[in-house]
Structure 1
Amino acid sequence: MSSLAWIDFDEAERQRAQRIMALFQERESRDELGLGAIRDSIADHLFPGTSTIQTRLRYMLFIPWVFRMLEGRDVPENQLRAEARALEIRLADALKRGGETNGIIGRDAGPRLQRLPSSVYWAGLGAWGIRLFPGSTDSLFVSLRGFKRWQRPSDGEDTAASPAARAIWTRSLPAAPKDLLDQTAFALTIDEAQFIIDRLIASQPATLLTFLAREGIDAECDYIWTHPHFAAFPAPARRLIRHGEIFSEVMHGATLLYNLALSELRGRDDWAADYRKRIASWTAELDRPALSGWSLDDFWNAVEHPAHSIRPAAKRFVMQWLELVADGAGQIASAPAGRQLVEERERRLKTTQSRFTNHAVRDRWSGASGVARLGFRWSQAKSHLRDLAHAE
């Protein structure tokens, strides 16, 4: 008699750690000052299921289609894992044969690929209700062995007792193209786009991502707060975006100051001069009326998210930085208090790996860490919405 392995908490935590490490390898996602929980809380409220390492939306279908090819294979889990990896690599080749050049995960790495598409999209598949199995990919490989395709339960079936009652993917998942691994592309069909919209409506009905997908709103703008249809957004989304805009603006100065201080420690006058100019521009562009009327208490209430814990130290850092900016943003580049606040924050977070105290780590610094303004994954959401709007 076979048995099902459900959530493997150790494995789930291991994969979560891998995803976090992958995020920190992305230049725009580095969290040098411990603002990640705040950033991700806002992003997950607005655009749940997205991540900064996602590329194209059709991967939300590619992954279930590939994994369905493994169902019913009565082989050891290690072989299933190896076969899944091989299929994901074949998918990259099929996309290249289909004429795609950008957004292919593993386009250049081939068999050396380390970050598989399934690891990039697994959490999003669950958040959007496409994946029903609650565990990690490794726990799924354990569960798949010896089982035929799992189906939803019949009416009256005991879902707690019946392994077959627990489905891996939602039953409405569209069928895979017959030539999926021979030649494919990122363009969604109309039916595939409607399926994704339906899943968003069912699983994330109150989010901005679902609103934009349902309404077919596709717009090109750098930040969500500059969206041409902002006035039509639901009121809770507008409130959160306004908070996010101010938070992104004010904390951008802290990251610029962090990079300036390190540039000076490295003796790179050219880098330092550039950061001083950027800080001067930041100071000139600050929306002081919005900043003076900003309620931190309301901000913390708005960004609270069950998946993210914002530590008191992070809240103190934001509050203290805000006070410094309010008292004299024009002097931030040279004010000792600002530099001390930023340096102490980074040293507490990184301890022995702090760039301020560890010369070897500082010498490996490339000259830019987290210097882009926080965008709360609008770039990825915008790409996904574009793919939906251009379905054929």
Structure 2
Amino acid sequence: MASTFAWLDHSESDRRKALDVVDLFREQDTRDELGIGTVRDALADSLFPGISTIQTRAKYLLFIPWIYQALEAGRTKSSDVARLARRHEIDLIYQLLKSDDTDGVIGKDAKAGLQRLPSSVYWAGLGVFGIRRYQGSLDQYHRSLDGFYLGRRQVHASAEDGIVELFKPQTNWHEGLPSAPDGFPEGVSLQLREEEAEYLHQQIMTNVPGTLIAFLVDQGEWWDAVSFPWHHPQVGECASHVKAQLHHAELFSLIMLGAALLYNLMLAEKRASSGNGGAGSQEGLVGRYRNALDDWYGEVEDKRGTLDRWVESHSDFWEVIHRVNPRIPIPTVHFINTWTDIALGSDGIDTLIGARAARDLIHHRERRLKRALARLDNPRALEMWSGAAGTQQLTYRWQQVQTIVQDILRGLGRGQG
């Protein structure tokens, strides 16, 4: 898999997102089937920078630097560091499984067979939060270490010559990083000590101020888990720009759910008409998606006034998106705007389901994205459809954010359990 994405080495952000897609590929209901991922990610990056969908617990933001600090202290050669880092990360799995808290242990099932290591999962976030000083990908960091050691030797020699004030030793990791506990990783736990939680709190506040995640770690009180960030009980206390971001995120999540459900309804109808997979089960899927669309449209009607006002000022939405990612493809913008207009312009769910404009929009979008593999055109691709493709409402990494923030709050003494 690494060789497949070797061309992405120049951009750690692109590389991380591509690998995240690979890891989520089998989770059919979370996949980006209609090509709106760039907009989804722009909103997620506005609210929760540094967090990805495959992160699990906050303490990995410390585990990874500790592992590499130890390897640097031993002057591990560039040619050896990837192999030895993997050995340490696999050892970490076994040590964590001895603790009382094993939820979110990366590699809990795969153990030594783990393919996507925690260092890869957290590398981008370590940079966003200022914990990692090295600017480059994980592979680039590995290759840089021989030169890093040479540079430090030269600084040391200059110090002996009495001109150290002209030099500042290079460092790959933040100077304030708490020290690893004695014997690390033996006896390690996913629970944060107060010093560690305070460090992560400060790094988030310093490096991503004014974001929802910064608000939550700084002002957040313990909360029972909720399904969406806009359901958090302290949303009303956020800064106005954060509330605006959440407002856009909520309405975009709601309106685009309808497109995903209609796409799956069209797939179910296509399969039922083909006679594959058993008529009864396929008719059941058709009914399931018709009911889901009916429920969805009920939510749209409940928020009709809010949605209409949102569309009237849709330029505000796109301004938020383009501030994070100015390179959203024009066809993506067109698809989202057109679907929104069609959905809100319908006088009922039956009208929308039967609208040729809506169905053509979905069909053309899938064909543009998947070409010969479009399920609505390719019987073999349709046959491989699991029955649910991209049907989960957008949450913008909220599940991961809740866990990571609550890890920090618990370490700060503001948690429960």
TM-score between both structures, scaled by the size of structure 1: 0.90
Question: Match for residue 80 of structure 2?
Answer: 79
| Larger displacement relative to structure 2 (210-219 or 294-303) | 210-219
Contact map agreement 1:24 1:31 (CA 8 A) in 2: no
Contact map agreement 2:77 2:145 (CA 8 A) in 1: no
Contact map agreement 2:210 2:242 (CA 8 A) in 1: no
Question: Match for residue 381 of structure 2?
Answer: 361
Superposed CA offset, 1:219-249 (max 9, x none): 2321111221111100000011111111111
Task: Summarize the alignment of residues 191-230 of structure 1 with structure 2, pairs less than 5 Å apart.
Answer: 191-219=195-223, 220-230=225-235
Superposed CA offset, 1:33-71 (max 9, x none): 111111111110110000111111111111111111211
Question: Match for residue 126 of structure 2?
Answer: 125
Report the secondary structure of 1:281's partner residue.
Answer: helix
Question: Match for residue 266 of structure 2?
Answer: 261
Report the secondary structure of 1:304's partner residue.
Answer: helix
Report the secondary structure of 1:315's partner residue.
Answer: helix
Contact map agreement 2:46 2:324 (CA 8 A) in 1: no
Name the CA distance, whole Å, in 1 between partners of 2:9 and 2:143. 12
Which of 160, 167, 178 is the equivalent residue of 2:182?
178
Name the CA distance, whole Å, in 2 between partners of 1:103 and 1:302. 32
Contact map agreement 1:355 1:362 (CA 8 A) in 2: yes
Name the CA distance, whole Å, in 2 between partners of 1:261 and 1:52. 28
Name the CA distance, whole Å, in 2 between partners of 1:343 and 1:150. 57
Task: Summarize the alignment of residues 231-380 of structure 1 with structure 2, pairs less than 5 Å apart.
Answer: 231-267=236-272, 268-286=282-300, 287-294=303-310, 295-307=313-325, 309-328=327-346, 329-330=348-349, 331-380=351-400
Contact map agreement 1:72 1:144 (CA 8 A) in 2: no
Name the CA distance, whole Å, in 2 between partners of 1:111 and 1:169. 27
Superposed CA offset, 1:358-392 (max 9, x none): 22222222111221111112221111111111116
Shift of 1:79: 2.2
Give the paired residue count: 379
Point out the structure with max Rg over C-alpha.
2
Question: Match for residue 276 of structure 2?
Answer: none
Q: Which runs of 5+ in 2 are unaligned?
A: 1-5, 273-281
Matched, 1:157 2:162: no
Contact map agreement 1:19 1:119 (CA 8 A) in 2: no
Percent of aligned positions with the same letter in both sequences? 36
Contact map agreement 1:73 1:145 (CA 8 A) in 2: no
Question: Match for residue 11 of structure 1?
Answer: 9
Q: Give the direction of change, closer, same or farther, for the CA distance of 1:307–1:297 in structure 2 (3 Å limit).
A: closer
Name the CA distance, whole Å, in 2 between partners of 1:43 and 1:71. 34
| Larger displacement relative to structure 2 (68-77 or 340-349) | 68-77
Question: Match for residue 48 of structure 1?
Answer: 49
Contact map agreement 1:129 1:203 (CA 8 A) in 2: yes
* Amino acid corresponding to residue 12 of structure 1 in structure 2: H
Superposed CA offset, 1:146-167 (max 9, x none): 755988x9985356xxxx42x1
Q: Give the direction of change, closer, same or farther, for the CA distance of 1:87–1:27 in structure 2 (3 Å limit).
A: farther
Question: Match for residue 3 of structure 1?
Answer: none
Task: Summarize the alignment of residues 27-176 of structure 1 with structure 2, pairs less than 5 Å apart.
Answer: 27=28, 29-74=30-75, 76-145=77-146, 147-148=148-149, 156-158=165-167, 164-165=169-170, 167-176=171-180
Shift of 1:347: 1.0
Q: Which one has a larger percent helix, Structure 1 or Structure 2?
A: 2
Q: Which runs of 5+ in 1 are unaligned?
A: 1-7
Q: Give the direction of change, closer, same or farther, for the CA distance of 1:150–1:307 in structure 2 (3 Å limit).
A: farther
Q: Give the direction of change, closer, same or farther, for the CA distance of 1:310–1:169 in structure 2 (3 Å limit).
A: same
* Amino acid corresponding to residue 208 of structure 1 in structure 2: L
Shift of 1:259: 1.0
Q: Give the direction of change, closer, same or farther, for the CA distance of 1:15–1:37 in structure 2 (3 Å limit).
A: closer
Matched, 1:189 2:171: no
Shift of 1:72: 4.3
Report the secondary structure of 2:82's partner residue.
Answer: helix
Question: Match for residue 4 of structure 1?
Answer: none
Contact map agreement 2:28 2:386 (CA 8 A) in 1: no
Name the CA distance, whole Å, in 2 between partners of 1:115 and 1:32. 23
Shift of 1:27: 4.3
Q: Give the direction of change, closer, same or farther, for the CA distance of 1:190–1:75 in structure 2 (3 Å limit).
A: closer
Q: Give the direction of change, closer, same or farther, for the CA distance of 1:316–1:146 in structure 2 (3 Å limit).
A: closer
Question: Match for residue 278 of structure 2?
Answer: none
Shift of 1:101: 2.9
* Amino acid corresponding to residue 305 of structure 2 in structure 1: P
